[in-house]
Amino acid sequence: MSTIALCIPAYNAAWCLPRLLKSAKNQLKPFDEILVYNDCSTDETEKVAIKYGATVVNGLENKGCSFGKNKLAEIAKSDWIHFHDADDELLPNFITTMKPWMQLSEKLDILLLNFEYKDFATCKTLGHANYHRESLLAESMNFILTHKIVNFALVKRKSFIKIGGFVTDQNVLYNEDRAFYCKAAINNLLFDYENTITCINYRYDQSMSASNKLKCTYAYHHVSLYLYQNLDKKYHKELAINFWNNAKIAASFQDWDLTKNSIKYAKLLDNNLTDVKLPFKILFFINPFFAFWLREKLIRFFKPNLREDG
């Protein structure tokens, strides 16, 4: 019978770990292992994790969640692993939903999971992943390039170890999930998708991604550079769109160096912009950087409410 480990990277997570660990204990069928990587927290993360029955691995220095996930995968004894952020939650049906998939050891390496996206303060449902399974099965690399995929997945431990796990380069720290899934697809791991909702992803302003949007933009750029160096030409259009979108976000922060760099690689891959309306389309074709610059200045002048930093 296949086994599964819950692997939780945690830094100063004493405030949210009880909710997650309670949800892990409330499964209709239990996890075989519950592991927490304490990334040199300055609060009572270790104490709280032990209180709720988790096995704690303490880091010697703060190295980020990717390093922590890789370390947990090394230590885990189970056949399958599920990485879960400390500030999110599991539904009681998680294990029972995973069990049938865990028997497909020769046909599956990574199972993407559906989840409910909730506002942390109000608990209002904001949406669901609702991935299109047929598109994922038809072309996993294309799917990953054109969708935002978060860390909710069931992963075969042996396959994870074989490809070297998460990318630990600090440049991709805020986009580590995309980097991992791209790496997995490049290494021909087999994907599938479970539509049943088994996880809750909470949105709150202090989260790692929400409070570090520009860092996320830099990380996205570095993951795109990795793909630029490792993907064949059939994905150039999709990757170009990634760079164009990143240039747009960089411009919204008025980080003009990152804007220029993203434009540079977008033009090398595909010089066409697919979602730009006239008259900006003409300007984008002539001088894309000036078009991004002018667009941003106009937004800040006429609609300053759209920019948090004014």
Map out the domains of the chain as residue ranges. 4-203, 213-306
Helix runs in 14-148, H state only: 17-25, 45-51, 65-75, 94-98, 133-138, 140-146
88: left (phi over 0), alpha (psi -120 to 50) or beta: beta
Determine the Cα–Cα distance for residues 21 and 24; give it in Å rounded to an integer: 5
Beta strands at 125-128 and 4-10: parallel, antiparallel or unpaired: unpaired
Determine the Cα–Cα distance for residues 177 and 200; give it in Å rounded to an integer: 17
Determine the Cα–Cα distance for residues 24 and 92; give it in Å rounded to an integer: 8
- Where do we find the tokens 């042996």? 158
Helical pair 256-269 and 213-230, crossing angle rounded to 10 deg: 30
pTM of the model: 0.92
Contact status, residue 201 vs residue 152, Cβ threshold 8 Å: yes
- For the record, the structure tokens of 293 come out as 């610059």
Phi, psi of 89 (to 5 degrees): -145, 155
Give the H/E segment covering residue 112.
Answer: strand 110-119
Beta strands at 110-119 and 191-203: parallel, antiparallel or unpaired: parallel
Per-residue pLDDT of the chain (310 residues; tens, 9 = 90+): 899 999 999 999 999 999 999 999 999 999 999 999 999 999 999 999 999 999 999 999 998 999 999 999 999 999 999 999 999 999 999 999 999 999 987 889 999 999 999 998 898 999 999 999 999 999 999 999 999 998 899 999 999 999 999 999 999 989 999 999 999 999 999 999 999 999 999 988 777 777 789 999 999 999 999 999 999 888 999 999 999 999 999 999 999 999 999 999 999 998 776 666 656 777 888 888 998 999 899 999 888 887 865 4
Class for domain 4-203, per CATH? alpha beta
Determine the Cα–Cα distance for residues 255 and 295; give it in Å rounded to an integer: 14
